Amino acid sequence: MRRGAVRSVVVAGLLVVGGACGTGGAWGAGGVGDPTPGAEADVSYHGRVSLDEGRLRVWLVPHNEGPNALADTTLRVRLSEDLADRQEPAEGCARAGRREVVCETGPLPAHGQGRHIALVLGLREPVAEVVVRVDTLWNGDAADRNSGNNEHTVLALDTGDAYAF
């Protein structure tokens, strides 16, 4: 994936969060990937998190229970601890702050799953535990009547064990 495309996803997501695109995170600018008017989708994430000696691993798969397909969405991973200065984010992902990474999901077919996303993130300092929050930052302004299944909070202890969500 080209760096410019990742930046576009990050900028689009940050504009939505900052409210520059209207109320309620509405994109509404007629950009690429906008759903048709009245589109509805049910985005969710399934995966696992593990922490081992300051190295956090997040593996997840985005799902869309439909009824409409989405050209792209942006998910956000927020941490309770600071990231190390140097990171090598996965393809389609970018650091968005001291404790935050955003990733594009790519196309999400109706009643299907997107690409697998695997992050290996270094923490600034080794810690005994970290809270990981995963949610949708942007979904093309599609209606999601069940947004609870795309918001996860996981406590990962520094044991190397995987915690599922």
Report the pLDDT value the prediction gives residue 46, as an integer from 0 to 100. 97
pLDDT one-digit tens code per residue, 99-127: 999 999 999 999 999 999 999 999 999 99
Average pLDDT over all residues of the chain: 83
pLDDT band for position 132 (50/70/90)? very high
**Secondary structure (3-state) at 45:** strand
Q: Under 8 Å CB-to-CB from 70, ≥6 apart: which residues? A: 33, 35, 39, 41, 43, 64, 107, 108, 139, 140, 142
Picking from 55, 44, 10, 54, the residue whose alpha carbon sits closest to that of residue 135 is 44
Report the pLDDT value the prediction gives residue 2, as an integer from 0 to 100. 41
pLDDT one-digit tens code per residue, 138-147: 998 999 999 8
pLDDT at 12 > cutoff 80: no
> 58-95 burial, b for 16+ CB within 10 Å, e for fewer?
bebebbbeeebbbebbbbbbbbebebeeeeebbebbbe
pLDDT one-digit tens code per residue, 20-62: 333 233 333 333 344 556 799 999 999 999 999 999 999 999 9
CA dist list (Å): 129 to 60, 110, 119, 160: 20, 36, 17, 11
